[in-house]
Amino acid sequence: MWTLENLAAGAVHLGLVMYAVFGGADFGGGIWTALASGPRVREQRDGLFHAIGPVWETNHIWLIFVVVTLFTAFSKGFAALFTTLLVPLVIALIGINFRGAAFAFRHFGRQTGEHIPFMASTFAVSSILTPFALGMAVTSIATGKIVFVNGWVQAEPWFWVGPFTLVGGVVGMAICAYLAPIYMTVRTGGELQRDFRRQGIIAGLVLGILTTVEIPVAMVDAPLFAGRLLASQGAPFVAMSVISGITTQILLWRCRFLWAQIAAAGTVTLTITGFAAAMYPDLLIGQLSLAAAAAPPATLRAFFSVLVIGVIILVPSLLLLYWTFRGEPNPELPR
Protein backbone atom coordinates (compact mmCIF):
# COMPACT_ATOMS: atom_id res chain seq x y z
CA MET A 1 0.00 0.00 0.00
CA TRP A 2 2.61 2.57 1.04
CA THR A 3 4.84 1.91 -1.91
CA LEU A 4 6.78 4.74 -3.49
CA GLU A 5 4.63 4.75 -6.62
CA ASN A 6 1.44 4.90 -4.57
CA LEU A 7 2.82 7.83 -2.61
CA ALA A 8 3.78 9.55 -5.87
CA ALA A 9 0.29 8.88 -7.19
CA GLY A 10 -0.95 10.48 -3.99
CA ALA A 11 1.11 13.57 -4.81
CA VAL A 12 -0.41 13.76 -8.31
CA HIS A 13 -3.86 13.30 -6.79
CA LEU A 14 -3.21 16.00 -4.20
CA GLY A 15 -2.07 18.38 -6.94
CA LEU A 16 -5.18 17.64 -8.97
CA VAL A 17 -7.44 18.22 -5.96
CA MET A 18 -5.67 21.48 -5.11
CA TYR A 19 -5.94 22.61 -8.71
CA ALA A 20 -9.66 21.82 -8.76
CA VAL A 21 -10.39 23.36 -5.36
CA PHE A 22 -8.38 26.55 -5.93
CA GLY A 23 -7.77 26.92 -9.67
CA GLY A 24 -11.20 25.48 -10.41
CA ALA A 25 -12.84 28.27 -8.47
CA ASP A 26 -11.03 30.80 -10.65
CA PHE A 27 -12.37 29.14 -13.79
CA GLY A 28 -15.77 29.14 -12.10
CA GLY A 29 -15.39 32.88 -11.69
CA GLY A 30 -15.04 33.12 -15.45
CA ILE A 31 -18.03 30.87 -16.02
CA TRP A 32 -20.22 32.97 -13.75
CA THR A 33 -18.94 36.10 -15.45
CA ALA A 34 -20.70 34.72 -18.50
CA LEU A 35 -23.76 33.48 -16.59
CA ALA A 36 -24.23 36.49 -14.30
CA SER A 37 -27.85 37.54 -14.18
CA GLY A 38 -30.33 39.70 -12.31
CA PRO A 39 -30.16 43.36 -11.37
CA ARG A 40 -26.61 43.14 -9.96
CA VAL A 41 -24.80 41.68 -12.97
CA ARG A 42 -22.07 44.26 -12.83
CA GLU A 43 -21.46 43.85 -9.10
CA GLN A 44 -21.33 40.08 -9.47
CA ARG A 45 -18.77 40.30 -12.24
CA ASP A 46 -16.66 42.89 -10.45
CA GLY A 47 -16.71 40.85 -7.24
CA LEU A 48 -15.51 37.72 -9.04
CA PHE A 49 -12.93 39.69 -10.92
CA HIS A 50 -11.38 41.28 -7.84
CA ALA A 51 -11.40 38.03 -5.88
CA ILE A 52 -9.49 36.18 -8.60
CA GLY A 53 -6.88 38.92 -9.07
CA PRO A 54 -4.30 38.22 -6.39
CA VAL A 55 -4.53 34.43 -6.37
CA TRP A 56 -5.11 33.05 -9.86
CA GLU A 57 -1.47 32.68 -10.83
CA THR A 58 -0.63 30.88 -7.63
CA ASN A 59 -3.65 28.65 -8.09
CA HIS A 60 -2.70 27.98 -11.68
CA ILE A 61 0.68 26.61 -10.65
CA TRP A 62 -1.01 23.53 -9.19
CA LEU A 63 -1.54 22.43 -12.78
CA ILE A 64 2.16 22.77 -13.49
CA PHE A 65 2.80 20.80 -10.30
CA VAL A 66 0.57 17.98 -11.59
CA VAL A 67 2.28 17.91 -14.99
CA VAL A 68 5.79 18.03 -13.56
CA THR A 69 5.05 15.37 -10.94
CA LEU A 70 3.56 13.18 -13.65
CA PHE A 71 6.61 13.34 -15.87
CA THR A 72 9.06 12.98 -13.01
CA ALA A 73 7.38 10.11 -11.19
CA PHE A 74 5.39 8.46 -14.00
CA SER A 75 7.48 9.24 -17.07
CA LYS A 76 6.11 6.35 -19.09
CA GLY A 77 2.51 7.15 -18.18
CA PHE A 78 3.08 10.84 -18.91
CA ALA A 79 4.45 9.98 -22.35
CA ALA A 80 1.43 7.76 -23.06
CA LEU A 81 -1.10 10.33 -21.85
CA PHE A 82 0.41 13.25 -23.70
CA THR A 83 0.78 11.24 -26.89
CA THR A 84 -2.84 10.13 -27.06
CA LEU A 85 -4.52 13.18 -25.52
CA LEU A 86 -2.83 15.66 -27.85
CA VAL A 87 -6.01 17.34 -29.07
CA PRO A 88 -7.91 17.92 -25.79
CA LEU A 89 -4.70 19.06 -24.09
CA VAL A 90 -3.96 21.53 -26.88
CA ILE A 91 -7.49 22.88 -26.51
CA ALA A 92 -7.04 23.21 -22.75
CA LEU A 93 -3.70 24.95 -23.28
CA ILE A 94 -5.22 27.48 -25.65
CA GLY A 95 -7.92 28.14 -23.08
CA ILE A 96 -5.38 28.51 -20.27
CA ASN A 97 -3.37 30.91 -22.36
CA PHE A 98 -6.19 33.17 -23.37
CA ARG A 99 -7.75 33.07 -19.91
CA GLY A 100 -4.52 34.16 -18.26
CA ALA A 101 -3.67 36.75 -20.86
CA ALA A 102 -7.18 38.18 -21.02
CA PHE A 103 -7.28 38.46 -17.26
CA ALA A 104 -3.89 40.11 -17.01
CA PHE A 105 -4.57 42.49 -19.89
CA ARG A 106 -7.94 43.41 -18.50
CA HIS A 107 -6.64 43.82 -15.01
CA PHE A 108 -3.63 45.94 -15.80
CA GLY A 109 -5.12 47.79 -18.70
CA ARG A 110 -8.32 48.84 -17.02
CA GLN A 111 -7.75 52.54 -17.10
CA THR A 112 -9.10 52.79 -20.61
CA GLY A 113 -12.46 51.12 -20.85
CA GLU A 114 -12.35 50.15 -24.51
CA HIS A 115 -10.83 46.65 -24.16
CA ILE A 116 -13.00 45.41 -21.38
CA PRO A 117 -15.91 43.80 -23.23
CA PHE A 118 -13.65 41.88 -25.60
CA MET A 119 -11.25 40.83 -22.85
CA ALA A 120 -14.14 39.91 -20.58
CA SER A 121 -15.69 37.65 -23.19
CA THR A 122 -12.33 36.06 -23.99
CA PHE A 123 -11.90 35.49 -20.28
CA ALA A 124 -15.36 33.93 -19.96
CA VAL A 125 -15.16 31.71 -23.04
CA SER A 126 -11.71 30.38 -22.16
CA SER A 127 -12.83 29.78 -18.56
CA ILE A 128 -15.56 27.50 -19.92
CA LEU A 129 -13.41 25.80 -22.54
CA THR A 130 -10.46 24.89 -20.31
CA PRO A 131 -12.19 22.87 -17.55
CA PHE A 132 -14.29 21.17 -20.22
CA ALA A 133 -11.23 20.03 -22.17
CA LEU A 134 -9.35 19.07 -19.01
CA GLY A 135 -12.39 17.17 -17.73
CA MET A 136 -12.51 15.21 -20.98
CA ALA A 137 -8.78 14.52 -20.86
CA VAL A 138 -8.87 13.29 -17.26
CA THR A 139 -11.94 11.10 -17.67
CA SER A 140 -10.61 9.57 -20.88
CA ILE A 141 -7.95 7.68 -18.89
CA ALA A 142 -10.85 5.74 -17.33
CA THR A 143 -12.33 4.60 -20.63
CA GLY A 144 -9.79 1.84 -21.26
CA LYS A 145 -9.49 2.99 -24.86
CA ILE A 146 -5.81 3.86 -24.55
CA VAL A 147 -3.97 0.60 -25.17
CA PHE A 148 -0.40 -0.62 -25.41
CA VAL A 149 0.80 -2.45 -28.51
CA ASN A 150 4.39 -3.72 -28.49
CA GLY A 151 5.25 -1.48 -25.58
CA TRP A 152 4.05 1.72 -27.21
CA VAL A 153 0.77 3.47 -26.65
CA GLN A 154 -2.05 3.57 -29.18
CA ALA A 155 -5.57 4.91 -29.37
CA GLU A 156 -8.17 5.77 -31.98
CA PRO A 157 -7.80 9.41 -33.08
CA TRP A 158 -11.12 10.55 -31.56
CA PHE A 159 -11.32 7.99 -28.75
CA TRP A 160 -11.50 10.81 -26.20
CA VAL A 161 -14.88 11.95 -27.52
CA GLY A 162 -17.60 9.70 -26.14
CA PRO A 163 -20.57 9.84 -23.81
CA PHE A 164 -18.47 9.23 -20.70
CA THR A 165 -15.82 11.84 -21.48
CA LEU A 166 -18.36 14.41 -22.71
CA VAL A 167 -20.22 14.16 -19.42
CA GLY A 168 -16.78 14.22 -17.77
CA GLY A 169 -16.00 17.51 -19.49
CA VAL A 170 -19.28 19.00 -18.32
CA VAL A 171 -18.59 17.73 -14.78
CA GLY A 172 -15.24 19.55 -14.96
CA MET A 173 -17.07 22.76 -15.81
CA ALA A 174 -19.70 22.12 -13.14
CA ILE A 175 -17.06 21.64 -10.43
CA CYS A 176 -15.62 25.05 -11.26
CA ALA A 177 -19.02 26.72 -11.48
CA TYR A 178 -19.97 25.15 -8.15
CA LEU A 179 -17.00 26.42 -6.14
CA ALA A 180 -16.78 30.04 -7.28
CA PRO A 181 -20.14 31.38 -6.02
CA ILE A 182 -19.91 29.44 -2.76
CA TYR A 183 -16.47 30.90 -2.05
CA MET A 184 -17.87 34.33 -2.91
CA THR A 185 -20.63 34.07 -0.28
CA VAL A 186 -17.95 34.32 2.39
CA ARG A 187 -16.42 37.39 0.83
CA THR A 188 -19.54 39.44 0.14
CA GLY A 189 -22.60 40.68 2.00
CA GLY A 190 -26.19 41.77 1.49
CA GLU A 191 -27.94 41.29 -1.84
CA LEU A 192 -24.76 40.24 -3.60
CA GLN A 193 -24.22 37.48 -1.07
CA ARG A 194 -27.77 36.24 -1.73
CA ASP A 195 -27.05 36.20 -5.48
CA PHE A 196 -23.99 34.04 -4.97
CA ARG A 197 -25.88 31.80 -2.55
CA ARG A 198 -28.57 31.19 -5.17
CA GLN A 199 -25.95 30.50 -7.84
CA GLY A 200 -24.15 28.09 -5.52
CA ILE A 201 -27.32 26.13 -4.78
CA ILE A 202 -28.18 25.87 -8.49
CA ALA A 203 -24.66 24.79 -9.40
CA GLY A 204 -24.74 22.23 -6.57
CA LEU A 205 -27.90 20.69 -8.01
CA VAL A 206 -26.39 20.62 -11.50
CA LEU A 207 -23.19 19.01 -10.26
CA GLY A 208 -25.18 16.42 -8.32
CA ILE A 209 -27.30 15.54 -11.34
CA LEU A 210 -24.28 15.34 -13.67
CA THR A 211 -22.22 13.10 -11.41
CA THR A 212 -25.25 10.86 -10.90
CA VAL A 213 -25.79 10.63 -14.66
CA GLU A 214 -22.12 9.81 -15.17
CA ILE A 215 -22.49 6.49 -13.31
CA PRO A 216 -24.92 4.77 -15.73
CA VAL A 217 -23.02 6.34 -18.66
CA ALA A 218 -19.84 4.80 -17.27
CA MET A 219 -21.48 1.37 -17.04
CA VAL A 220 -21.94 1.49 -20.80
CA ASP A 221 -18.95 3.50 -21.97
CA ALA A 222 -16.33 2.76 -19.27
CA PRO A 223 -17.44 -0.54 -17.74
CA LEU A 224 -14.22 -1.41 -15.93
CA PHE A 225 -14.21 2.00 -14.25
CA ALA A 226 -17.90 1.75 -13.34
CA GLY A 227 -17.34 -1.69 -11.83
CA ARG A 228 -14.52 -0.44 -9.60
CA LEU A 229 -16.38 2.73 -8.69
CA LEU A 230 -19.33 0.78 -7.35
CA ALA A 231 -17.17 -1.89 -5.70
CA SER A 232 -15.66 -1.50 -2.25
CA GLN A 233 -12.74 0.61 -3.49
CA GLY A 234 -14.87 3.45 -4.88
CA ALA A 235 -18.27 3.19 -3.23
CA PRO A 236 -17.34 4.74 0.14
CA PHE A 237 -16.08 7.88 -1.61
CA VAL A 238 -19.20 8.06 -3.75
CA ALA A 239 -21.33 7.85 -0.61
CA MET A 240 -19.23 10.44 1.22
CA SER A 241 -19.30 12.88 -1.68
CA VAL A 242 -23.09 12.56 -1.85
CA ILE A 243 -23.35 13.26 1.88
CA SER A 244 -20.92 16.15 1.60
CA GLY A 245 -22.84 17.61 -1.35
CA ILE A 246 -26.15 17.45 0.46
CA THR A 247 -24.56 18.96 3.57
CA THR A 248 -23.26 21.85 1.48
CA GLN A 249 -26.74 22.51 0.08
CA ILE A 250 -28.24 22.54 3.60
CA LEU A 251 -25.51 24.85 4.88
CA LEU A 252 -26.05 27.22 1.97
CA TRP A 253 -29.79 27.12 2.51
CA ARG A 254 -29.29 28.03 6.15
CA CYS A 255 -26.73 30.72 5.29
CA ARG A 256 -23.85 29.08 7.16
CA PHE A 257 -21.44 30.28 4.51
CA LEU A 258 -18.08 29.62 6.11
CA TRP A 259 -19.01 25.99 6.71
CA ALA A 260 -20.63 25.73 3.29
CA GLN A 261 -17.33 26.83 1.72
CA ILE A 262 -15.43 24.08 3.50
CA ALA A 263 -18.11 21.49 2.72
CA ALA A 264 -18.12 22.47 -0.97
CA ALA A 265 -14.36 22.04 -1.21
CA GLY A 266 -14.86 18.70 0.58
CA THR A 267 -17.46 17.62 -1.97
CA VAL A 268 -15.12 18.33 -4.86
CA THR A 269 -12.21 16.65 -3.08
CA LEU A 270 -14.30 13.53 -2.44
CA THR A 271 -15.63 13.45 -6.01
CA ILE A 272 -12.13 13.53 -7.45
CA THR A 273 -10.92 11.06 -4.83
CA GLY A 274 -13.74 8.71 -5.82
CA PHE A 275 -12.54 8.91 -9.42
CA ALA A 276 -8.96 8.26 -8.34
CA ALA A 277 -9.98 5.37 -6.06
CA ALA A 278 -11.79 3.69 -8.94
CA MET A 279 -8.70 4.12 -11.12
CA TYR A 280 -6.45 2.46 -8.54
CA PRO A 281 -4.08 0.67 -9.05
CA ASP A 282 -3.89 1.89 -12.65
CA LEU A 283 -2.82 5.07 -14.35
CA LEU A 284 -4.47 4.03 -17.62
CA ILE A 285 -7.30 1.80 -16.56
CA GLY A 286 -6.73 -1.87 -17.33
CA GLN A 287 -3.67 -1.05 -19.44
CA LEU A 288 -0.92 0.59 -17.41
CA SER A 289 -0.58 0.20 -13.68
CA LEU A 290 0.97 2.86 -11.48
CA ALA A 291 3.82 0.48 -10.74
CA ALA A 292 4.50 -0.12 -14.44
CA ALA A 293 4.32 3.58 -15.26
CA ALA A 294 6.53 4.68 -12.39
CA ALA A 295 10.06 6.06 -12.69
CA PRO A 296 12.92 4.15 -11.00
CA PRO A 297 12.83 4.16 -7.16
CA ALA A 298 15.87 6.46 -6.96
CA THR A 299 13.93 9.12 -8.87
CA LEU A 300 10.89 8.72 -6.64
CA ARG A 301 13.01 9.01 -3.49
CA ALA A 302 14.74 12.12 -4.82
CA PHE A 303 11.37 13.58 -5.77
CA PHE A 304 10.03 13.07 -2.26
CA SER A 305 13.05 14.71 -0.66
CA VAL A 306 12.46 17.73 -2.87
CA LEU A 307 8.74 17.60 -2.12
CA VAL A 308 9.35 17.76 1.62
CA ILE A 309 11.58 20.83 1.29
CA GLY A 310 9.07 22.40 -1.07
CA VAL A 311 6.20 21.82 1.34
CA ILE A 312 8.18 23.35 4.21
CA ILE A 313 8.66 26.52 2.15
CA LEU A 314 5.29 26.61 0.43
CA VAL A 315 2.77 25.90 3.17
CA PRO A 316 3.63 28.93 5.34
CA SER A 317 3.91 31.10 2.23
CA LEU A 318 0.50 30.01 0.98
CA LEU A 319 -1.04 30.57 4.41
CA LEU A 320 0.44 34.06 4.44
CA LEU A 321 -1.03 34.73 0.99
CA TYR A 322 -4.54 33.58 1.79
CA TRP A 323 -4.42 35.19 5.24
CA THR A 324 -3.34 38.53 3.78
CA PHE A 325 -6.10 38.55 1.17
CA ARG A 326 -8.86 37.12 3.35
CA GLY A 327 -12.19 38.93 3.64
CA GLU A 328 -13.79 41.31 1.22
CA PRO A 329 -11.82 41.70 -2.01
CA ASN A 330 -10.11 45.05 -2.49
CA PRO A 331 -11.53 46.91 -5.43
CA GLU A 332 -8.48 49.13 -5.77
CA LEU A 333 -5.94 48.54 -8.45
CA PRO A 334 -2.43 47.72 -7.41
CA ARG A 335 -0.17 50.71 -7.44
Partner 1 sequence: MDNVLSARALMGISLGFHIIYATIGIGLPLMLMIAEWLSLSTGDDLYHKLARRWIRPAGVLFAIGAVSGTILSFELGLLWPRFMAFGGPLIGLPFSMEGFAFFTEAIFLALYIYGEQRLSRRMLFFCTIPITVAAAASAVFVISANAWMNTPAGFRLVNGALSDVHPFQALANPAWAHEAVHGTLAAYVATGFAMAGVYAATLLRGQSSDYNKRALTMALAVASVSLPLMLATGDWAAMILADQQKPKMAAMEALFTTTRGAPLFIGGWPDPASGKVLYGLRIPKLLSILAHRDSDALVEGLDAFPPGTIPDPRLVHPFFDLMVASFFIMLAAAVWFWWLRWRRREVPLDKWPLRALLFASPFGMIALESGWLVTEFGRQPWIARDHMRVAEGVTPQTGISLVLITFLVVYLALTAGLLKLLMRPASAGEGTETTQEERHVDP
DSSP code of residue 19: I
Binding to partner 1 by residue 318, rule CB under 8 A? yes
The reply to whether 80 sits near partner 1 by the rule CB under 8 A is: yes
Distances (CA, A) of 250 to 40, 207, 238, 255, 335: 25, 15, 19, 8, 41
Cis peptide before 88 (omega within 30 of 0): no
Tell me, what DSSP letter sits at residue 23?
I
> In this complex, which beta carbon is closest to partner 1, that of residue 111 or of residue 232?
111
Answer for the pair 22, 52: CB distance below 8 angstroms, yes or no.
no
Q: Does 71 bind partner 1 (CB under 8 A)?
A: yes
Of 14, 35, 107, 206, the residue at the interface with partner 1 (CB under 8 A) is 107
**Interface with partner 1, residue 68, by CB under 8 A:** yes
What is the rounded CA–CA span in Å between residue 156 and residue 146?
Answer: 8
Q: 20, 25, 96, 141: which one contacts partner 1 (CB under 8 A)?
A: 96
Distance between CA atoms of residues 313 and 128, nearest Å: 33
Out of 3, 43, 46, 54, which residue is the one contacting partner 1 (CB under 8 A)?
54
Nearer to partner 1, 134 or 180 (CB): 134
Please tell me whether residue 148 binds partner 1 under the rule CB under 8 A.
no
**Residue whose C-alpha is closest to residue 261's, from 170, 319, 206, 193:** 193
Q: Which of these, 74, 81, 138, lies nearest to 303 by C-alpha position?
A: 74
Residues contributing to the site for partner 1 (CB under 8 A)? 53-55, 57-58, 60-61, 63-65, 67-69, 71-73, 75-76, 78-83, 86, 89-90, 93-94, 96-98, 100-101, 103-105, 107-109, 111-112, 115, 152, 295-296, 298-299, 302-303, 306-307, 309-310, 313-314, 317-318, 320-321, 324-325, 330, 332, 334-335
